Structure 1
């Protein structure tokens, strides 16, 4: 199982109120300069929020929402500091209730 860390916010906040696109471009540039593999993904309306154990978290975040999911906890902490109005957390996948969140990306 892999631990995934996430920063969760409303789509309106991320894409209309914050310069989030600039944050992503900056991070892509940094990873490219350091020859690091991308370890984060932007997920619109993340399915993991539909799980019964995630209902409290979903209720805290204005809908529709988006999540930045990463295997790097430091990056998610950095996002929390950079983007003021986000909820952070983690989950493990694949599990009995959460499939591998990257499985669908492999086929693209």
Structure 2
């Protein structure tokens, strides 16, 4: 199993009100320059938030939700500090409750 970390908020907040696209674009550029494989994803209406262990967090996030998921905990901490009005969490996948962590509910 892989440990994933995430920041989540309303989709509108992450994709329209915050300059998240700019942050992710810069990170992709940096990874390309350093030959590093992408380990983060923007997921709209993430299905993993429906898992029982994340129910408390899911109730605090305005719907429709979006999340940035990464295997890099430091990047998620950076995003939490940068974006401010987000919730953070983590999960392991695949698991009995979370089969495909990057799937959406759409």
Residue 89 (structure 2) pairs with residue 93 (structure 1): no
Q: Distance in 1 between matches of 2:87 and 2:93?
A: 19
Alignment partner, residue 10 of structure 1? 10
Instruction: Name which of structure 1's ranges 84-93 and 45-54 shifts more when overlaid on structure 2.
Output: 45-54
SS of equivalent to 2:22 = helix
Alignment partner, residue 47 of structure 2? 47
How many residue pairs get matched?
103
Alignment partner, residue 67 of structure 2? 67
Alignment partner, residue 80 of structure 2? 80
- Ranges in structure 1 where 5+ consecutive residues have no aligned partner: none
Q: RMSD of the TM alignment (CA)?
A: 1.3
SS of equivalent to 1:90 = strand
Give, in angstroms, the shift of residue 100 of structure 1.
3.7
Alignment partner, residue 23 of structure 1? 23
SS of equivalent to 2:7 = strand
Q: Distance in 1 between matches of 2:43 and 2:85?
A: 17
TM-score calculated relative to the size of structure 2: 0.90
Give, in angstroms, the shift of residue 101 of structure 1.
2.5
SS of equivalent to 1:9 = strand
Alignment partner, residue 35 of structure 1? 35
